[in-house]
Amino acid sequence: MADEDKRRARSVPSSRLGRLAGFGGLAGGMVAGALGEGARRLAAGERPSMDQMLLTPGNAKRLADRLAHMRGAAMKLGQMISMDAGDVLPPELAAILARLREQADFMPPRQLDKVLAKQWGKDWRKQFRRFEPRPIAAASIGQVHRALTRDGRTMAIKVQYPGVAQSIESDVDNVAGLLRMTGLLPEELDIAPMLAAAKAQLREEADYEREGRMMQCYAELLEGDDRFALPTLDPALTRSQILAMSFEEGRPIEALAEEPQDVRDAAFANLIELVGRELFDFGFMQTDPNFANYRYRADTGQIVLLDFGAARKVDPAISADYRRLLEAGLAEDRPRVRDEAVAAGFIAPQAIERHPERIDRAIDIVVTEMSREGQLDFGDRAFVPQIREEVMPIAKDKASWHLPPPETLFVQRKVSGTALLGARLGARVDVRGTVERILAETA
């Protein structure tokens, strides 16, 4: 849910020319900012590198603001970068990009009416007693409105921004170009497979009829589990760019942080188990861990699950990779963890050859943390700087650069994002016991 004070109505650039102009203006503004920063540093007797000149707080703000305005694949990639790489990005850029997880502009009423009329027809208002024009949430691909149908049902209507589906290819390529310009994506790193996978996933997310089917599939998997609640699809009102579903009450998941420790721990333990079930039991995972995709009901303790555009089947080979990796970690067999991480594509063989001691120390930190008996305190992230100290020299070594397979990255994004939520909530969970139980039950 976006912060009401930060959101504003701004028309979404829907034409290819308009979106291209947006990227051009952003690039020009960042270059101008870099020139100013370079002049300032030179006057101070420094010899700044290009990435130091580009990655300024001013340019980071320009990047976040423009992506929030353009929305679509451009903003979605910004969100993914901020969540997936937040611990290793320059602090200024990480802080600004984190805003993209929390806010988005929304369509002005005239543009909204055009989209609804195109999908439902000009007399679309006749289907409702009330349709609230100001969205209750605005995200990267669409915004959500509350509505009351003629038969008295309160609905959540997700409306896709115009031009989003048609601009995925160019948006992804343009964002990748901007990131290369800043030095965040080195020229030597082959990101073509990752970009192709990102485009494919974003095309799926832009198909709201598909999302409705994924939501129904997930509901069937969780049938009878009253720890979770999901919206109910309204197929009659759903279109390719409109998703109509029941409105589900709930507070932002971050509100859990205000609850007693035992309440936080119990709720987050349920989410940890859910990820394990997705990976090893369902073979089906909602791979977007954005905090806005969860709501909390204090009266029942239920967690409301939202947004199934990124839901997908999990390749059995990936599940098997994670099983072997976790079994090695639980056995505290560090050499085997290293071998399984290479086999799964998490670590490049050349990184092992060039930085064996650093790799082993990083693995030791992770295994020690994850295999400890009793509760793991997700709020204690003292080990993160230790890992960063080991992996940053590897990341700076061009001969060690490597990206895991795209499908593995989608799964790992859910795993890592869930851990970040645990840190936000300060939750404590017996991770070792939970993982051992799930592996045994799904063997």
What pLDDT does 171 receive? 75
Residue 351 counted as domain residue? yes
Residue 237 counted as domain residue? yes
Q: What is the 3-state secondary structure of 395-432?
A: HCCHHHCCCCCHHHHHHHHHHHHHHHHHHHHCCEECHH
Residue 259 counted as domain residue? yes
Q: At 178, which amino acid appears?
A: L
- Catalytic residue flag (residue 262): no
Structural domain count, the chain = 3
Q: Are residues 34 and 73 in the same domain?
A: yes
Q: Are residues 94 and 146 in the same domain?
A: no
What pLDDT does 174 receive? 74
Statement: residue 1 has pLDDT above 70: no
**Highest mean pLDDT pick, 31-35, 179-183, 326-330, 378-382:** 326-330
What pLDDT does 41 receive? 45
Mean pLDDT of the chain: 81
176-185 own/partner pairs: CB under 8 Å, 24+ apart? 178/23, 178/26, 178/27, 178/30, 178/63, 179/81, 181/27, 181/30, 181/54, 182/30, 182/51, 182/54, 182/55, 182/59, 183/49, 183/50, 183/51, 183/54, 183/55, 184/51, 184/55, 184/81, 184/89, 184/93
Residue 304 counted as domain residue? yes
In terms of pLDDT, which residue wins out, 320 or 138?
A: 320
Q: Are residues 217 and 341 in the same domain?
A: no
pTM, whole model, 2 decimals?
0.81
Residue 199 counted as domain residue? no
Residue 2 counted as domain residue? no
In terms of pLDDT, which residue wins out, 383 or 45?
A: 383
Percent of the chain with pLDDT over 90: 52
Q: Are residues 281 and 416 in the same domain?
A: yes
What pLDDT does 237 receive? 97
Statement: residue 74 has pLDDT above 80: no
What pLDDT does 289 receive? 87
Q: Are residues 271 and 408 in the same domain?
A: yes
Give the pLDDT confidence of 127-172 residue by residue, as tens digits: 999 999 999 987 778 899 999 999 999 999 999 988 888 878 877 7
Out of 105, 265, 288, 307, the active site residue is 288
Give the pLDDT confidence of 274-285 residue by residue, as tens digits: 999 999 999 999
Residue 197 counted as domain residue? no
What pLDDT does 402 receive? 76
Q: Could you list the residue range(s) of the whole structural domain that residue 130 is in?
A: 108-160+207-248
Of 173-177, 261-265, 427-431, minimum mean pLDDT range: 173-177
